[in-house]
Amino acid sequence: MTSPQRKDEILKSDLPPSLPLLALRSTIVYPLGTIAVQMGAPENLSLLRAHDQPGLIVALVVAAGDHDDGLDVERFVGRVGVAARVHERINLPGDTVQVTLQGLRRIIIEGVSQTEPFPVVRVKAAKEALAESAEVDELVSKIVSGAETLVELIDRIPDEVPAILKMNVSDPGRFADLAATNLNLKISDRDEVLQRLNIGQRLKFLLGRVEREVARARVA
């Protein structure tokens, strides 16, 4: 778990004005999160081969479709992505590379500087908006309650998820990202959580999805 001091260091770190872009198809990396991802899309492999230095910083976005589908980079302009650091790389069979990505901060994709052989985009740091504390507390409490119910109803959600969420209620934005990561939401819903810079709206959207999953699980 990232300490408050470490979080502040990450958020205050300099952000390059342009970053190579990695498109994720079936997962998402939120700020301060770490995940191992297998890369097979041609543009992603070209990027990794061109930049083999340790600690490479990239812009992550969520793309629909299979990695064999073409990537329309212009559609990401104006959307929220994540600046992330590339750590360990492992070459795998089938022209695939597994990389470990550490999310750093939300960013806005401002424009496209390059499309071939891999995309490069212009970015700026995203600014998150806080909500009223009383509203946030109520939303957080309802999401934790929903998570406790989902753990009872759905085997694939680990039992420790509600406890993890309760340990992070002091940071509502991070709380929402953790909940979206751990409550088995669809990738499109997790991307919507990423897109919402107003933390109150992020929590409201998340609560709606949690309540939907609870309703579905009860009739399954």
Convert the pLDDT of each residue in 65-118 to its tens digit: 555 567 899 999 999 999 999 999 999 998 999 999 999 999 999 999 999 999
| Residue 145: CB atoms within 10 Å | 14
**Is 129 a residue whose pLDDT tops 80?**
yes
Convert the pLDDT of each residue in 35-68 to its tens digit: 999 999 999 999 999 998 889 999 999 987 555 5
User: Can you give the residue ranges of every domain in the chain?
Assistant: 4-125, 133-219
Tell me the DSSP string of the chain. ---HHHHHHHHHS---SEEEEEEESS----TT-EEEEEE-SHHHHHHHHH--STT-EEEEEE--S-TTS---GGGGTTSEEEEEEEEEEEEETTTEEEEEEEEEEEEEEEEEEE-SSS-EEEEEE---B---HHHHHHHHHHHHHHHHHHHHH-TTS-TTHHHHHHTTTTSHHHHHHHHHHHTT--HHHHHHHHH--BHHHHHHHHHHHHHHHHHHHHH-
133-219 and 4-125 share a CATH fold: no
This prediction's pTM:
0.89
Q: State both tokens at 22.
A: 């990695």
What's the average model confidence in pLDDT over 159-165?
A: 96
pLDDT band, residue 26 (cuts 50/70/90): confident
Return d(Cα 185, Cα 81) in angstroms, integer.
Answer: 18
Structural fold of domain 4-125: 2.30.130
Yes or no: domain 133-219 corresponds to CATH 2.60.40: no
